[in-house]
Chain A
């Protein structure tokens, strides 16, 4: 039996019924769809952002060094015109270095990269950056304005 404090007071005239419905047979079919999805995920190891994590981690190790040492690298190259870092390289570096990435480096890397900041079609690499900023509670617009 529920104790009194565990029964929430009802809003007058307001049903506790959830006013949503599902398509016909949704719950009958869901377990099968789930099984299919699990079989796929067993044959192809999934990662939220990268399918080939190990390969990318290796690439990121190199790319990350380039990114983290971004300004230094430019100096070493004595003002030669450097190739723009691609969004993939930047996002791989973020993925690899995680918390070691400081804000200045991040902003520099994003601004100097070819990432579309307001893309029509969001792709995985943009997702990674957005997720990173979000996890770090960094306001994307604010840091760009300050940069």
Chain B
């Protein structure tokens, strides 16, 4: 359900687009950024995808139906933009999924804005090895502690499937972390 402040922002958007949208950007930029960053890994790519997300939102906000929350809607756009970006990057160099995951891993290792320890690096490597949809589910659940119902609204996947997906992701990650 849309919160009151969001309803006011949407109403304001219809009267003064730029001012309202600036407030929306300020309100949601961080949450969307971290959601995107966990998927695309590099800060520069996350910055590009975040901008595209807000451009899409700006262009579509007139048609936004308030039966979903603004954040869910934005989160959905950010998710789609992240997946589209990854797909495009993979196809740009005509890489199979496995090779692209290795490339993402190299990006992770060389990323200047990574400030985790060795264990966290290993966890991120394990996450990168997951299929993209499972990676999304894992990130949303483990790091964002999102409710399955909310995830279902964003991803358009049933709660049961999300639970199964998270379970499989967790097993694969545990297996990777206990190797060596």
| B-binding residues in A (CB < 8 A) | 2, 5-9, 11, 13-23, 26-27, 30-31, 33-35, 37-38, 41, 46, 118, 122, 127, 130-131, 133-134, 140-141
Q: Are B141 and A11 in contact (CB under 8 A)?
A: no
Q: Are B113 and A23 in contact (CB under 8 A)?
A: yes
Q: Are A20 and B145 in contact (CB under 8 A)?
A: no
B148 proximal to A (CB < 8 A) = yes
Q: Which residues of B contact A31 (CB under 8 A)?
A: 22, 25-26, 29
B60 proximal to A (CB < 8 A) = no
Complex alpha-carbon distance, A22 and B154, angstroms: 25
Minimal Cβ-Cβ distance residue in A for B37: A20
Complex alpha-carbon distance, A19 and B38, angstroms: 9
Which secondary structure dominates chain B's binding surface? helix
Complex alpha-carbon distance, A27 and B141, angstroms: 24
Distance in Å: Cβ of A131 to nearest Cβ of chain B? 7
Q: Are B177 and A11 in contact (CB under 8 A)?
A: yes
Q: Are B18 and A18 in contact (CB under 8 A)?
A: no
| A-binding residues in B (CB < 8 A) | 18, 21-22, 25-26, 29-30, 33-34, 37-38, 43, 47, 50-51, 54-55, 58, 87-88, 91-92, 94, 111, 113-117, 119-121, 123-124, 141-143, 145, 147-148, 166, 170, 173-174, 177
Q: Are A21 and B120 in contact (CB under 8 A)?
A: no
Q: Are B113 and A8 in contact (CB under 8 A)?
A: no
Q: Are A6 and B147 in contact (CB under 8 A)?
A: yes
Listed residue (A8, A11, A46, A134) with the most chain B CB atoms within 10 angstroms of its CB:
A8
Q: Which residues of A contact B30 (CB under 8 A)?
A: 27
